[in-house]
Amino acid sequence: MLETMAFKQGALQRPSPFKLALRTYTMVLALAAIWLTFAIMTDGAFLQPRNLSNLLRQMSVTGILSVGMVLIIVAGHIDLSVGSVVCFLGAVLAVAGSEFGLSPMNSILVTLLAGITIGTFQGWLLSYQRIPAFIVTLGGMMVFRGASMMITKNSTVPLEANWIQSLGTAYVSAQTGWTICILALIVVLALMANARRQAKQFGLETESFGAFLVSALALTGLVVGFMRVLASYEGIPVPVLLMLSLMIIFYVISQRTTWGRRIYAIGGNSDAAFLSGINIRGVTMSIYMVMGFLTALAGVVLTARVGSASPDAGQLLELDAIASCVIGGTSLMGGKGSIPGALLGALVMESLNNGMSLANMEPYWQFVVKGVVLVVAVWADMWSQSRR
């Protein structure tokens, strides 16, 4: 019973369905405004299918990291090391094949195992040794950047020519892509309908049927438009498919499992979660273990896409992932956030990067604009918190 109360405490931190839908629609409108602005600035080049496909491919690494970063921030923590760990694990992948002669599959398994080990160790330090997450991951950011320089000998290490490169460069055919998207859409709509039914069953606040229908139609239109654009070029890029698959899997885990509800309970009210008997240390360490796994996947995708590992890869990826989560509605206070929202935030961030580069804007403007967008997003979240 106490654990149920803790879950309710965490649930109180989640936005109502109406507010969540309103925030989503606002984000979609902001994204549409960004795309329209860059389309005008680039004489339509920004909205060409080829560029949109490249944009989504570039977004995939940040998107994969954002999936795990949401869970960490919702639990009330942070991870500043993911950019350096992505660089280190990409170097591990390249070196495992070029210098140690491991097969492609074994190279990937070693990389994934290294990522899980790093995440577990960092989670153990902050959970059981009581070292603040900021300090643990800040130290990790420096340690693994230095380790990347060491194992690459401060030079670029080319990836062996094999099927690993297809994880970053290949496409899924348009016909297969349509099949996958339709199946994924059916699953997501079923989850949305089931969540609404359960909310009404337990007397929780939920949107009207009309609002639910608008959301479902908007999602359907977004998926169909997304697939039409990609099908008109080459199909769905493999890293984009991987990112979307992870989004659906971890969305279901975060919303439909005891482990996921405990994360929200811990972030919403850690004292209530502790008194209810939730193993806060164990759950926290497991979140960082999952983050390590996702960071390894991001490292594989980035290295495969570029075709090599370099000691300066992944710089500022941690800030892009955190910014994506915050822009997507995740509260830095913990207890509130969603994985689809984080991916929408990642799309906003990558649209800014891609659009400003395509418009030949000076590099310093990219930092200025992204910084302003992040500050405004945090300010909006704090203002919303104060009003509640």
Using CA atoms, how far apart are residues 80 and 135, in angstroms rounded to an integer?
9
pLDDT of residue 67: 95
pLDDT of residue 11: 44
**Burial letters 119-145, b for 16+ CB under 10 A, else e:** bbebbbbbbeeeeebeebbbebbeebb
pLDDT of residue 21: 56
Per-residue pLDDT band at 24 (split at 50, 70, 90): low
Amino acid at 336: K
Average pLDDT for the chain: 86
- The residue ranking higher by pLDDT, 383 or 205, is 383
pTM for the model stands at: 0.88
With a cut of 90, say whether residue 228 has pLDDT above it.
no
Summarised one tens digit per residue, pLDDT across range 26-66 is 777 888 888 899 999 999 899 898 898 899 999 999 999 99
Sequence-distant (≥ 6) Cβ neighbours of residue 264 within 8 angstroms? 7, 10, 11, 13, 14, 74, 254, 335
How crowded is residue 208: how many other Cβ atoms within 10 Å of its Cβ?
11
3-state secondary structure at position 195: helix
Using CA atoms, how far apart are residues 141 and 135, in angstroms rounded to an integer?
10
